[in-house]
Amino acid sequence: MRHSFFCVDAHTCGNPVRVVAGGGPQLPAVPMSEKREIFQRDHDWVRQALMFEPRGHDVMSGTILYPSSREDCDIGVLFIEVSGCLPMCGHGTIGTVTAALEEGLVVPRTAGQLSLETPAGKVDIEYTQNGNYVEQVRLFNVPAYLHARDVILNIDGLGALKVDLSYGGNYYVIVEPQDNWSGLDDMTVSDIQRLSPIIRAAAQEALAPEHPTDPHISGVSHVMWCDAPTQTEADARNAVFYGEKAIDRSPCGTGSSARMAQLHARGRLKTGDTFIHESIIGTMFTCKVEGETRLGDFDAILPSVAGWARVIGHNTIFVDDRDPLMTGFQL
Ligand code: PYC
C-alpha cells in the first residue's frame, strides 16, 4: 500500500517546517495534548517517515493540522520533528501560520488574528500581510518560567558547568559563557553535537522537570548555548540543540521564551522589554516580555515571539509499505 501525504514545505528564518495539510492519521476529537499522546502511541511511524532520511534529514521539523476541539481556537497543531512530538514549537508555529494562510488552509475569523490549539496550550497569533503574502507572525506563547538556577553539572570534556533550566514550551538547559566555556566563537558544530546530549542527560538526571500545572509535559529536551550577538540590532545570540544532531537554524521560539523567562527572573529583562534574538545563521526573532503570571508555585512571564517564514514548495510524499526504509533512518 502507498500512503500519500500532501505537504506545504516552508522554512522559518532558515529552519524547516513541513506542514502536513492532508494524509495525516485521523485522531479523535479530544484536546491537542491527548491527540499528541495518541499519535505518539499509535502513529509515530508517520513522523519517522516524514522527518528522517531519505524523505527528511537531521534537522527536519513539521506540523500536522487538525480541527481544534476548542471553541476559541481556529485550528489544532501537532508538532512533529526528528526528536519526537514537542508540546510547542515557535519556529514551527510561525511557518505553519504562514503556510496555512498563504495556501488557504485556514480562514481567520478576524483579519490579522488566529488562535491555535497546541499540545502546550492556546497560542494566539497576530500577523501582517502584503497581498497574499504573510510578512510577519507574532505568537503569544504559553507562560514561561525559570525552573532552576545555578545548577552545577560535571561534564566530561568541559568540567564543571553552571547552568539554568528554563521552560518556554519545552525545557531548556541554558549555558552562558563562563570559566569552562568561553562562548560560541570557540565552538564547532560537531562540538555542539557532541557536548549537548551529555549536558541534556546530566540536567535531566539532576532535575527531571515536570510542568507545574500540565502533567502531559516533562523532561529536558533542548540545550541553548548563549552568547553576545554579532549583529548590532540583536540583544543576544544562541545555538539551540535538540534531537540527536539538530541545531536550530532559527533563533528558536520556545527557546527565546525560556531565555526571556530566565533573564526576567534574574532581573536582566523587565516586563515590557523587547529582546531581539539572533540564530546561529544570523536570522532574528523580535521577542517581548508581554506580562507576568504564575505557574503553580513559580513566577512566570507571558512571552511573545515574532518572525518571518517563506513557503518553498508543495510536496506530495509517498510512503510505500514495500519500502524497507519506510520509516526512514538516522546516521
Ligand atoms: O522554535 O520553538 C522552536 C523550536 C523548537 C525546536 C526547534 N525550534
Whose alpha carbon is nearest atom 8 of ligand 1? 252
**Helix (H) or strand (E) segment spanning residue 190:** helix 189-207
Residue 241 confidence class, pLDDT cut points 50, 70, 90: very high
User: Helices 90-102 and 253-265: crossing angle, nearest 10°?
Assistant: 140
Distance CA 204, CA 171 (A): 10
- Region label for 221, one of left (φ > 0), alpha (ψ between -120 and 50) or beta (otherwise): alpha
> Within a 10 A sphere around the Cβ of 128, how many other Cβ atoms?
13
What's the whole-number mean pLDDT along residues 136-164? 97
CA–centroid distance, 166 to ligand 1, in Å, is 14
pLDDT at position 148: 98
Q: Is the CB of 254 under 6 A from ligand 1?
A: yes
Complex ipTM value: 0.99
List phi, psi (to 5°) of 42: -110, -20
Q: Is the CB of 235 under 6 A from ligand 1?
A: no
Q: What is the pTM of this model?
A: 0.98
pLDDT at position 14: 98
Burial tier of 30 (Cβ tally within 10 Å: 0-12, 13-18, 19+): exposed
- Predicted confidence (pLDDT) per residue in 42-62, tens digit: 999 999 999 999 999 999 999
SS3 96: helix
pLDDT at position 114: 98
Q: What residues are paired with 16 via a beta bridge?
A: 11
Residue to mutate (ligand 1; options 96, 173, 252, 308; most atoms within 8 A of CB): 252
Distance CA 290, CA 296 (A): 19
- Predicted confidence (pLDDT) per residue in 199-224, tens digit: 999 999 999 999 999 999 999 999 99
- CA 258, distance to chain mean position in Å, is 11
Atom of ligand 1 nearest to the CA of 94: 1
- Which of these, 235, 233, 318, 301, lies nearest to 54 by C-alpha position? 318
CA–centroid distance, 84 to ligand 1, in Å, is 12
SS3 270: coil
Q: Is the CB of 252 under 6 A from ligand 1?
A: yes
Contact 207/219 with Cβ under 8 angstroms? no
Q: Is the CB of 248 under 6 A from ligand 1?
A: yes
What's the whole-number mean pLDDT along residues 162-177? 98
Residue 264 confidence class, pLDDT cut points 50, 70, 90: very high
Annotated catalytic residue 89: yes
The DSSP 8-state label assigned to residue 275 in this structure reads E
Whose alpha carbon is nearest atom 6 of ligand 1? 89
Percentage of the chain modeled with pLDDT above 90: 99
Distance CA 292, CA 93 (A): 22
- Predicted confidence (pLDDT) per residue in 286-310, tens digit: 999 999 999 999 999 999 999 999 9
Distance CA 224, CA 39 (A): 28
Atom of ligand 1 nearest to the CA of 93: 1
Distance CA 115, CA 94 (A): 12
Site of grid cell 496555512: 100
CA–centroid distance, 167 to ligand 1, in Å, is 12
CA–centroid distance, 51 to ligand 1, in Å, is 15
- Which of these, 262, 271, 297, 296, lies nearest to 148 by C-alpha position? 262
Domains of the chain, earliest start first: 2-140+310-320 (3.10.310.10), 144-306 (3.10.310.10)
User: Which of 13, 73, 85, 89 does the annotation list as catalytic?
Assistant: 89
- Predicted confidence (pLDDT) per residue in 67-95, tens digit: 999 999 999 999 999 999 999 999 999 99
Distance CA 16, CA 37 (A): 23
Q: For the chain, give percent helix, strand, coil, nearest 5.
A: 20, 45, 35
CA–centroid distance, 87 to ligand 1, in Å, is 10
